[in-house]
Structure 1
Amino acid sequence: MHVPDGFINAPVSVAAGAVAVGAVAVSLRGARRELDERTAPLAGLVAAFIFAVQMLNFPVAAGTSGHLLGGALAAILVGPYTAVLCVSVVLLMQGLLFADGGLTALGVNITVMACVTTVVAYAIFRGLAKVLPAGRRSVTAAAFTAALVSVPAAAAAFTLIYAIGGTTDVSLGKVATAMIGVHVLIGIGEAAITALTVGAVIAVRPDLVHGARGLTAPLKLRVGGELVDAPAVTPAPAAVARSHRKLWAAGLVTSLVLAGFVSFYASTNPDGLEKVAHDKGFDKGEKEHDAADSPLADYGVKDITDTRLSGGLAGIIGVGVTVVAGSAVFWAVRRRRDGDTGPASTVTEDVAAASATLAKPAENA
């Protein structure tokens, strides 16, 4: 659902950019409360994993494909504020390096794919978590439902933005019906990927899953005929560090394999937005991407003629760049939390940092 340049007019693109800057600023502050020495490295890995899985377009219907948006997955794994940053990092890397998603439309893409999916998914997830019995199956079921709903919600958000600032005259009713309809089908794939990933991490390290905190019940001992909580056992720091490294390495290898090898077998059909835009005629306003001459444009390495090798190398480079960029962002947020002594850290500073990230796309709008 990467919105290209030219679909949305300049004033609405700038307004969406302002919304995205505000959301990133709020998320930078919120992420300080979510990230700690255990989860900060995981957040960078989550961004890289989302990048990798987004390369795996899967067929849905009528010559249409879909791919993971990632907001629900990131929110459940690392928290909603950190999730907005994760998906935003992915979108920035895709736009700048791979010419995927317009640079003037970066604010629209962050608003729709990072903010809407995360907010909708996490709200549904937390609501279900309160009413379902505590347990891993309930967390997985809530993750499935939240991810499923988040995708058509994002499609509806795009339709609303297009209704305000679309550059072509088309029937909005037909656009809304087509967009939401096809993205319900894509949402099923998103839900399956999200549930499987969350379930896999919970099975190994439930303590690292933001949405599963408190899932593990304390060990009970019978003392004098009564059940009491057993004393908490703190794992040795060396053992914890080894466990973190193993999980991080496994996640990184999985991401590299998905992006570098499995992506070759992804569906080549247009994704939901591309298909609807072509069928309804509002792709006529699309403009050439500002990074169309990038050496990695369209997820291929320039001057490498072997399609498999070119795409695989581009995927591996993308995972590497995303994990480095994401880890740097979350490490900086974590360090700032450790050094935050009070009111000196302000929303204004966060807005300034976020504005610098989106300055170029906003200027190009």
Structure 2
Amino acid sequence: MHVPDGFIDPPVSAVAGVVAAGAVAVSLRGARRELGGTSRSSAVESGGERTAPLAGLVAAFIFAVQMLNFPVAAGTSGHLLGGALAAILVGPYTGVLCVSVVLLMQGILFADGGLTALGVNVLDMGIVTTVVAYAVFRGLTGVLPRSRRSTTIASFVAALLSVPAAACAFTLIYWIGGTTDIPIGKVFTAMVGVHVLIGVGEAVITALTVGAVLAVRPDLVHGARGLAAPLKLRVDGELVDAPTRQPVAPVAARSHRGFWAVGLVTALVLAGFVSFYASSSPDGLEKVAADHGIDKKTEEHAAKDSPLADYGVKDVSDARLSGGLAGVIGVGATVVVGSGVFYVIRRRRTPDATIGATTAGSARGGEDA
């Protein structure tokens, strides 16, 4: 659903960019808590220290899976949007940033999604999908039994609904600032119809991924925190919470590294090898645009001469090798940029938090004295 340059007029694209920038700014602040950084209240969200190593990997995984277009109807394909998956695995604020990093890398390196339409794409694919999916997910997990199966089911439904929600958001943006005169009813019907089918694929991929992570490392799933009930002991006839032992830091670090390495290898294999077998049919937006004339004023991408444009390496004649190398480079670039962004977010402290930490340290020093 990458919107190219020319679909939306410049004023509306600019407004969408401002809204997207504001949402990203809010997400930067919220992600600091989700990643275990320090917030203004000096409170660290429980489990945040486990989120930081995963966030860059999630961005790279979404990039890889977005290369795997799957057929959904005659002559139409779809691909993962990733908002639901990111929100459930690493939290809604960090999820917005994950998808935004992916869209930025795709636009700059691969000429996928217009640069003037970057704000539209971040708003549509990053913010709408993440917010809708996480709201649905939290609503379902609040009423379903607290179990891994319920979490997986909630992930499926949340992802399923997030895709047609993004289609509705695009239709609204196009209604306000579309560059061609097409009846909005036709655009809405076509967009929602095909993206409901794409949503099924999104739901399957999201549920399988969340279920797989839950099976091996449920502590790394943001949406599953607090899933297990605390162990109870009977003391003097009353049930009390059993004491918990903190894991040894070196063991936890090794475990994170192992999981991260397996995830990265999986993303590299998907982008570097499996992507060759992806559907070559146009995705939902491309198909609707071609059928209804939305693409009449499409502009050439500013990065069309990029060495990686169209997910191929320039001057490499073998299509399989060219696409595979481009995928591997994309995964590597995304994980480096994403991990760097999330590392900086986690390490950053607000002035109030720094003062609070200093005051707390001084107080403890006074007590020890």
What's the TM-score once normalised by structure 2's chain length?
Answer: 0.91
How far, CA to CA, are the matches of 2:174 and 2:262 in structure 1? 40
The answer for the alignment partner of 2:10 in structure 1 is: 10
Q: What is the CA-CA distance between 1:123 and the residue it aligns to?
A: 0.5
Say if 2:227 is the partner of 1:215. Answer: yes
Cα-to-partner distance string for 1:174-229 (whole Å, 9 max, x where unaligned): 11000000000000000000001111111111111110010022223344555433
Aligned AA (1:193): I
After superposition, what is the alpha-carbon deviation per residue over 1:262-290, rounded to whole angstroms, capped at 9, x for unaligned? 00000000000000000001111111100
Q: Secondary structure at the match of 1:38?
A: helix
Q: How does 1:30-179 map to 2 (within 5 A)?
A: 30-36=30-36, 37-179=49-191
The question of 1:266 aligning with 2:278 is answered yes
Secondary structure class of the residue paired with 1:342: helix
State the partner residue of 1:197: 209
More displaced 10-residue stretch of structure 1: 304-313 or 234-243: 234-243
Letter in 1 for 2:324: G
Alignment partners' CA distance in 1, 2:9 and 2:306: 24
Contact conserved, 2:88 with 2:134, CA < 8 A, in 1?
yes
Q: Equivalents in 2 of 1:25, 1:192: separation in Å?
A: 31
Shift of 1:238: 1.3
Distance in 1 separating the partners of 2:65 and 2:185: 31
Task: Please tell me whether residue 306 in structure 1 is matched to residue 318 in structure 2.
Answer: yes
Corresponding residue SS for 2:240: strand
Once residues 238 and 119 of structure 1 are traced to their aligned partners in structure 2, the CA distance between those partners, rounded to angstroms, is 35
Q: Which 10-residue stretch deviates more, 202-211 or 109-118? A: 202-211
**CA–CA distance in structure 2, aligned partners of residues 325 and 161 of structure 1:** 29
Gaps of 5+ in 2: 37-48, 356-369
Superposed CA offset, 1:140-176 (max 9, x none):
1111000000000000000000001000111210110
In structure 2, the partner of 1:360 is none
Matched residue, 2:39:
none
Using the aligned pairs only, state the percent identity: 78
Query: Which ranges of structure 1 fall in alignment gaps of 5 or more residues?
Result: 346-365
Give the whole-Å Cα distance in 1 for the aligned partners of 2:230 and 2:324: 45
Partners of 2:201 and 2:307 in 1: how far apart? 31
Q: Could you tell me which amino acid in structure 2 is paired with residue 214 of structure 1?
A: G
Q: What is the CA RMSD across the aligned residues, in angstroms?
A: 1.3
Match for 1:102: what amino acid?
G
TM-score by length of 1: 0.92
2:350 maps to which of 336, 340, 357: 340
Check if 1:331 corresponds to 2:336.
no
Question: Structure 1 counterpart of 2:255, which letter?
Answer: S
Tell me the residue number matched to 1:22: 22
Question: Displacement, 1:331?
Answer: 0.4
In the alignment, which residue of structure 2 is the partner of 1:181? 193
SS in structure 1 at match of 2:233: strand
Give the aligned residue type for 1:22: G
Give 1:229's aligned residue.
Answer: 241
Q: 1:75 is paired with a residue of what secondary structure?
A: helix
Residue 41 of structure 1 aligns with an amino acid whose one-letter code is: P
Instruction: For 2:97, give the aligned amino acid.
Output: L
Counterpart of 2:183 in structure 1: which amino acid? S
Report the number of matched residues: 343
Q: Distance in 2 between matches of 1:344 and 1:99?
A: 41
Q: Distance in 1 between matches of 2:183 and 2:24?
A: 33
Q: Given that residues 163 and 198 in structure 2 are in contact (C-alpha distance below 8 angstroms), is that contact kept between their aligned partners in structure 1? A: yes
C-alpha offsets along residues 26-45 of structure 1, whole Å, 9 cap, x if unaligned? 00011111112321121000
What are the superposed Cα offsets for residues 324-358 of structure 1, whole Å, 9 maximum, x if unpaired? Answer: 0000110010011xx3231899xxxxxxxxxxxxx
CA distance in 2, matches of 1:217, 1:246: 27
Contact 2:50 2:219 in 1 (8 A): no
* 2:260 equivalent to 1:248: yes
> Which shows bigger deviation, 281-290 or 298-307?
281-290
State the match for 2:364 in structure 1: none
Distance (Å, rounded) in 1 between the aligned partners of 2:235 and 2:329: 57
